Amino acid sequence: DVKVTQSSRYLVKRTGEKVFLECVQDMDHENMFWYRQDPGLGLRLIYFSYDVKMKEKGDIPEGYSVSREKKERFSLILESASTNQTSMYLCASSLQTGTYGYTFGSGTRLTVV
Amino acid sequence: TQLLEQSPQFLSIQEGENLTVYCNSSSVFSSLQWYRQEPGEGPVLLVTVVTGGEVKKLKRLTFQFGDARKDSSLHITAAQTGDTGLYLCAGERPGNTGKLIFGQGTTLQVKP
């Protein structure tokens, strides 16, 4: 069964901490994405990567960075966590074309206190 | 700018009723997808439609892509409590390889 695995289901971090969210896929997909999901705002794209070491900003990249050193792994980094980054974070992967759909991880519920 | 508008945003119905969710845009999409998300989980792909006018059925769910490839609908017949969840439509813009634009979602509650 194909999978996208996010390292943590729940995280609680303090304001100012550096936070790492890890995502691993086992489908040899080229594309990987990080979204945040907030009530009333839907899914908003933070960053995506279409190849190893390649990245592109999404709609809300401020306060975040990403790393993709290996094809199967895509990390989201909150450089200095703030309370407005409290959210559900979803990782997804897909083939080069989005036509075949995204496979999502189960999400990480991050609370910044 | 919200490129994909879903309606209604919330829907609460009794088991056995029928319902339709709409996904509309002024933009053309090369494909459109529907996902369902349950609380605490990531969205799961239900279907992809590619051809204008295409209709796909998945048991009690019927998906339609508009002729102009700008809109889509999801119809559920005889809803069951297991259909409860957040339904998301997502479109792929021509030439925007790999990136999907998501609607804001429709929260469906089916009461027994």
pLDDT digits (tens, 9 = 90+) for A32-60: 999 999 988 889 999 999 999 899 999 89
Inter-chain CB proximity B98 and A97 less than 8 Å = yes
The verdict on A104 touching B (C-beta cutoff 8 Å) is yes
CB atoms B48 and A101 under 8 Å? yes
Question: CA dist A14 to A19, A86, A87, A110, Å?
Answer: 9, 11, 14, 11
B30 touches chain A (CB under 8 A): yes
3-state secondary structure of A85: helix
Give tens-digit pLDDT for A75-103.
999 999 999 999 999 999 998 777 788 99
Find tokens 């990531």 and name the residue. Answer: B42
- Residue B11 has a CB neighbour count (10 Å cut-off) of 18
Indicate whether B110 pLDDT > 90: yes
Q: Which residues of B touch A98 (CB under 8 A)?
A: 31, 33, 92, 97-100
Q: For chain B, say whether A86 makes contact (Cβ under 8 Å).
A: no
* pLDDT number for residue A39: 86
Q: Looking at residue A97, what is its pLDDT?
A: 74
Instruction: Determine whether the interchain pair B98/A30 forms a contact, defined as Cβ–Cβ distance below 8 Å.
Output: yes
A39 burial via Cβ count (<10 Å: 0-12, 13-18, 19+): exposed
pLDDT at B92: 87
Q: B57-103, pLDDT tens digit by residue?
A: 999 999 999 999 999 999 999 999 999 999 999 998 777 667 888 99
